[in-house]
A and B are shown apart, each in its own frame.
Chain A
Amino acid sequence: MESYDLIIIGGGPAGLAAAVAARDNGIESILILERDKDLGGILNQCIHNGFGLHTFKEELTGPEYAARFIAQVKERGIEYKLNTMVMDISSDKVVTAMNRQEGMIMLQAKAVILAMGCRERSRGALNIPGYRPAGIYSAGTAQRLVNMEGFMPGREVVILGSGDIGLIMARRMTLEGAKVKVVAELMPYSGGLKRNIVQCLDDFGIPLKLSHTVIDIEGKNRVEAVTIAEVGPDRKPIPGTEERYTCDTLLLSCGLIPENELSRSAGVEISPITSGPVVNDSLETNIQGVFACGNVLHVHDLVDYVSQEASAAGRNAADYILHGHGENAKQVEILPQGGVRYTVPKYVRPEEMEDSLTVRFRVGDVYKNCAIATYFDDQLISRRKRPVMAPGEMEQVVLQKAKLAEYPDMKHITIKIEEA
């Protein structure tokens, strides 16, 4: 069996940044496995700008952002296989993959980085009633058709869900000549970035109806009309609030789900909140030498944070390959409370961690004039005021190794939202 020190599953932004960091930290034998025909992942269809403000201090399109990392991978001569689907990962890190040229191949890795990204929630999973005609697309599928293939999937559009891809596609379809009639969002707040609501809806006069959902789809062959209704606090439609929109297209942007089928088959523990692996400060899963980063770990708002996180995963995997682990290192759990839905990572090893650790999370509701508080056991360590926090945007707390060292008997760390 052929073997590599490090196999990275997925050649999107996470996989690319992880590979570069691993090489820069001394790992020669690296293989990236990518199922698409190009490196770059979903960035290749994200032709709008706004990427890279943090990483490169300039505004890039998705393909441009990807191209910078692809160039770094190629400069370093890192090996990759395209059009290659990973079929299985075993708990002892044997990766089974398949492509046209080589058939089914089995590869042994010392360490694996999971960087498979996420997928969109489908109409079926949302259980939207009505007919099942052509013209119902997830926003990302429509984005691929328009941006990669140059085809318009419809002329008159209703969008359910205000996730970022849906917002971006509202603008994109409008620029291509379609009429976007309304964006309906089940929750009382948007799931997307504030800047996307302003730049993609407000600037084009597209109405956003919060606390609304689709309750009927008409059209036996092609979508003919969609009915939306207001929902109450129980998220159930309120009779009498129905509004019918004639249209030929319904786009869905109702959330992203980390794609962890391979992780599960390897025995990786998955968080029910994030649907991603449970990891410690080195982004290592419950299986030694299996790391995770990017949207397979938890859905990010900005690709810059994906790249940062993936670099950490690459460094940590390199460290694991070169030096192994401190066995039985002490581990402290981070408890999310009071509006904090989860944290990544979930565990911190005070003696093994890097000098500083960025802990990322999302909040479960809109919070105004509140603060993010961090406690070591019952001791308040930091308190940072935030004028607005929303579920569509990631928040973070930075933990310092030196500070943790002052609390050797600490049982857990708590991160919570408090009134300012």
Chain B
Amino acid sequence: MYDVAIIGAGVTGSAIARELSRYQVKACVIEREEDVCCGTSKANSAIIHAGFDAVPGSVKARVNVKGNEMMDQIAKELDVPFKRNGSIVVCTKDQDPKGLEVLMEKGLANGVKGLQILDREALLAKEPNLADDVVCGLFAPTGGIVCPFHLTMGYAENACMNGVEFFLNTQVDEIVKAGEGWQLKVLRRDQKKEEVIETKVIVNAAGVYADVFNNMVSEHKIHITARKGEYMLLDKTAGSHVSSTIFQLPSAMGKGVLVTPTVHGNLLVGPTAVDIENKEGTNTTLAGLGSLGATAALSVKQVPLNQVITSFAGLRAHEDHDDFIIGEAEDAPGFYNAAGIESPGLSSAPAIGLMVAEMIRDRLGLAENPDFNPIRKGILDPDTLSLEERNELIRKQPAYGNIICRCEMITEGEILDAIHRPLGARSLDGVKRRTRAGMGRCQAGFCSPRTMEILEREVPMSIYEINKNGIGSEFVVGVNKEI
């Protein structure tokens, strides 16, 4: 019997798990996919929002601003790439600058620090590539950019180190009330067998599926729409086109798209916003990708779209009432929702994690875990070492002298670390999210056969089982002449 079972190993579920591991608790995280960070957490703007968007008094507003404030410490504890690059909402000559004042007032009410409305000249001093039509903008110095993969993996690995169990490839099919607690009927997708997990408390952090689980146990039905956002990622050679995150003032034409550097030095353009029925609909579209360039040009000029290296789509879990639903379901004691976590979910994760963990601590009367270690070390980046240190490392571990990914210059040593650390990578995408191998301009054309070889050697998987992102995504279908 678990004290707590968390459904979903995205950034929200992982943050809750990590904050819970501060206490003496028997907890598990149940994830349908083969890895943590496989849903909304892996495909978003990777922005730590300042907090001026949300309606004052909303849950969103509260956890966004608090999450933003917590991010420096979390990034340090979990060794996550994070930078406060500042954000700017721009207003063009066809828009009403009052919109910026409204945002500023909301920001002040939400407790966002350092907000300033700047004129064109002041904006150009910061961002010379702003579009010619930009007349003024709202500058938020606390806006930031983060690696969403490492934020999620950092939380999950740290939770794992502190005793939380993870069931990957495990899909929750049914939730049944059982006495004071719950039974979760699950399918272990890798072993193709059904099991029952018993727990006192459930946390529903299931992203776009959170409505499904809530509605299994509660009469307070919720409805979550998958809101698709398509993005284009540009080469690092375009990464300095802007240095802040450039937002557009929402208008009748929609919310607009952002143009931002990523914390790894690429340039990101997106997202579109289209509500779809299919909760698995992470495909990009001709229309969506086609629209991004023109929309981006409203705020930033000469975005070098010929340097796109990949495009992707993510699904925001949009709840009908436009706010996060965090807390115990009224008619289902012991069932806690962290539902409707769309943007700014990444920014809010630290605060949501703390908030839900404290609710459960109080309910179960959990004592502190004296062995809790808040520190997780990320994967060593040899580029951060001096020449002497690097050569010493290679002497001890020659794999650090072997480049596998030529675009991002990722060594075999880093890939081995990604595979053998807690919750280690078991797929090419898993290796990619942890190390960036395959994330560069050739998009794994060079390194994928090499990474496949390393995975086959290092984990108990045959070449036929080596996959891109889990069961069903195997690369090799046979040996020559056999098919």
Contact = CB atoms under 8 A, between A and B. Distances in A.
B311 A127 contact: yes
A122 B474 CA distance: 20
Interface stretch (B156-164, B215-223, B285-293, B355-363): B285-293
Contacts of B284: 129-130
Residue from A132, A138, A140 whose CB has the most chain B CB atoms within 10 Å = A132
B469 A152 contact: no
A127 B309 CA distance: 8
A104 B391 contact: yes
B457 to A, nearest CB: 13
Interface string A292-336: 000000000000000000000000000000000000000000000
Given A104-B390, A104-B391, A141 B449 contact: yes
Contacts, number: 141
A87 B409 CA distance: 8
Given A122-B309, A122-B445, A151-B463, A101 B398 contact: yes
Interface stretch (A26-34, A214-222, A351-359, A393-401): A214-222
Contact of A127 (B308, B445, B474, B478): B308
Contact of B473 (A99, A178, A221): A221
B406 A124 contact: no
Interface in B440-483: 441-443, 445-446, 448-449, 463, 467-483
Given A129-B311, A152-B478, 11 more contacts: A98-B401, A100-B398, A100-B402, A103-B394, A104-B394, A123-B310, A127-B232, A127-B311, A129-B286, A134-B475, A152-B483
10 contacts: A124-B308, A124-B311, A124-B443, A131-B283, A141-B446, A151-B479, A152-B479, A154-B477, A176-B481, A220-B472
Interface in A132-172: 132-135, 137-138, 140-141, 144-146, 148-155
B482 A221 contact: no
A238 to B, nearest CB: 12
Contacts of B398: 100-101
Contacts of A99: 401-402
A153 B477 contact: yes
A173 B415 CA distance: 31
Contacts of B403: 35, 85, 98
Contacts of B469: 134, 221
Contacts of A100: 394, 398-399, 401-402
Contacts of B282: 131-132, 220
A240 to B, nearest CB: 14
Contact of A120 (B232, B445, B480): B445
Interface in A90-132: 98-104, 119-120, 122-125, 127, 129-132
Enumerate the 7 nearest inter-chain pairs by beta-carbon distance, A residue then B residue, closest first: A124-B310, A221-B472, A103-B391, A122-B443, A134-B468, A100-B398, A103-B394
Nearest to B411: A98
A177 B310 contact: no
B400 to A, nearest CB: 8
Interface residues of A, number: 52
A83 B395 contact: no
Contact of A132 (B312, B390, B474): B312
A101 B468 CA distance: 31
B253 interface: no
Contacts of B472: 220-222
Contact of B448 (A131, A141, A150, A215): A141
Contact of A129 (B288, B401, B476): B288
Contacts of A284: none
Interface in A243-269: 248
Interface in B1-34: none
Contact of B476 (A103, A140, A145, A215): A145
Interface string A218-232: 101110000000000
Contacts of A148: 449
A12 interface: no
Contacts of B312: 132
Contacts of A153: 475-477
A101 B398 CA distance: 7
B473 A119 contact: no
Given A100-B399, A152-B477, A222-B474, A125 B309 contact: yes
Nearest to B292: A127
B371 interface: no
A64 to B, nearest CB: 20
A375 B481 CA distance: 55
A100 B482 CA distance: 37
Contact of B468 (A133, A141, A144, A176): A133
A416 B236 CA distance: 37
A237 interface: yes
A40 to B, nearest CB: 16
A29 to B, nearest CB: 24
Interface of A: 35, 83, 85, 87, 98-104, 119-120, 122-125, 127, 129-135, 137-138, 140-141, 144-146, 148-155, 176-178, 215-218, 220-222, 237, 248
Contact of A119 (B387, B409, B445, B482): B445
A222 B261 CA distance: 31
B416 to A, nearest CB: 13
Contacts of A145: 449, 475-476
B132 interface: no
B302 to A, nearest CB: 15
Nearest to B398: A100
A146 to B, nearest CB: 6
Given A129-B284, A151-B479, A220-B280, A103 B473 contact: no
Contacts of B280: 220
Interface string B62-77: 0000000000000000
A151 B311 contact: no
Contacts of B442: 119-120, 122
A311 B282 CA distance: 50
Contacts of A129: 283-286, 288-289, 311
Contacts of B285: 129
Nearest to A98: B401
Nearest to B448: A141
A119 B475 contact: no
A87 B394 CA distance: 15
B63 to A, nearest CB: 31
Given A122-B309, A222-B472, A101 B401 contact: yes
Contact of A178 (B310, B406, B483): B483
B441 A122 contact: yes
A47 to B, nearest CB: 11
B225 to A, nearest CB: 19
Contact of B480 (A132, A134, A150, A248): A150
Contacts of B286: 129, 215-216, 237
Residue from B289, B399, B448, B471 whose CB has the most chain A CB atoms within 10 Å = B448
A218 B448 CA distance: 21
A130 to B, nearest CB: 5
A103 B309 contact: no
Contacts of A122: 309-310, 441-443, 445
B471 A221 contact: yes
Contacts of B401: 98-104
Contacts of B476: 145, 151-153
Contact of A177 (B395, B463, B482): B482
B61 to A, nearest CB: 34
A298 B443 CA distance: 22
Nearest to A252: B445
B333 to A, nearest CB: 36
A35 B473 contact: no
Contact of B283 (A120, A130, A151): A130
A103 B481 contact: no
Contact of B402 (A83, A127, A149, A176): A83
Contacts of A177: 481-483
A122 B441 CA distance: 8
B452 to A, nearest CB: 9
B406 A134 contact: no
